[in-house]
Copies of this chain bind each other. A is one copy, B any other.
Amino acid sequence: MSLLVVGTVAFDAIETPFGKTDKIVGGAASYISLAASYYTKDIHLVSVVGDDFPQDFLNVLKNQGVDLAGLQIKKGEKSFFWAGRYHNDLNSRDTLDTQLNVLEHFDPIVPESAKSPDFLMLGNLVPAIQQKVINQMTKRPKLIVMDTMNFWMDIAMDDLMKTIAMVDVLTINDSEARQLSGEYSLVKAAQKILAMGPKVLIIKKGEHGALLFNKDEVFFAPALPLEEVYDPTGAGDSFAGGFIGYLAQTRDISFDNMKRALIYASAMASFTVEKFGTERLIGLSQEEIDNRLQEFIDLVDFDITFA
């Protein structure tokens, strides 16, 4: 089924305890589209870059089946740039530089061909811009998934709450869930956030896995313990892409299928962190993906039956 992805396509410069990169390709929508493309092919991208952005990477997206009709390429302008340094534990980071560039005046224009997607994935962006995309839909998508972050809770809470109320699934991390709800217990936090509108909440805990909540149920997807984690950048976006890509492929938005989707999501995130940037998400084979999924299955496979 068709999937519309909105979010940044950009440059990152990353330092981790294991090395550093120059300007490399990043951005939420890059990771989301790549991760989703392993499950579904009818993907439309809405984003903006400057004319400094490498055509090579756009070709990679095209080859993965991503339609770029909604990608604005601004002549004489520069792409969004973020630089950051991860701490030793990889769970926290400092922003070293942020250059909004083309993002400063980004007005998302959804092409006619992409105005009635079955699935809509709103990558982390200004909440008002996420809303602008929803408002261009000519029919309500079967499912709208939204990612956001603490930054918008700090500076655009009203807009954020309005946007959250319009979506079906919200994905945030554990500290953001605590900030948004004012509750320390994630169980209580989830119930408060679900009362804000979404039917489903995903709380991402990085190396500690992810929780899936609806009003009555909870599911936990583990993260795979990895020998090497090089770069956590894009893990949450790859997770979101794997999640919505799998749902679009299977055309099933039941809670049971979302559980499966959470494992597919976790698998994509586990690939991403093994190399810098988007490198590991390019050219994955079906066999690699299946083997990775099997590792997740084995990781939590136990057999308890009651007498």
Contacts and interface: CB of A to CB of B under 8 A. Distances in A.
B260 A304 contact: yes
A259 interface: yes
Interface string A10-48: 000000010000000000000000000000000000000
Interface stretch (A71-79, A104-112, A180-188): A180-188
Contacts of A225: 185-187, 211, 218, 220
Interface string A234-265: 00000000000000000000001001101100
A290 interface: yes
A219 to B, nearest CB: 7
Number of this chain's copies in the assembly equals 2
Contact of A263 (B209, B219, B302): B302
Contacts of A293: 304, 306
Contacts of A290: 306
Most chain B CB within a 10 A radius of its CB, from A229, A290, A302: A302
B300 A219 contact: yes
Interface string A164-188: 0000000000000000000011111
Given A227-B185, A300-B222, A209 B208 contact: yes
A218 B299 contact: yes
A189 to B, nearest CB: 10
A95 interface: no
B303 A300 contact: no
Contacts of A306: 290, 293
A212 to B, nearest CB: 10
Contacts of A92: none
A297 interface: yes
Most chain B CB within a 10 A radius of its CB, from A219, A225, A301: A225
B227 A300 contact: no
Contacts of A298: 219
Interface of A: 17, 88-89, 184-188, 205, 208-209, 211, 218-222, 225-229, 256, 259-260, 262-263, 290, 293, 297-304, 306
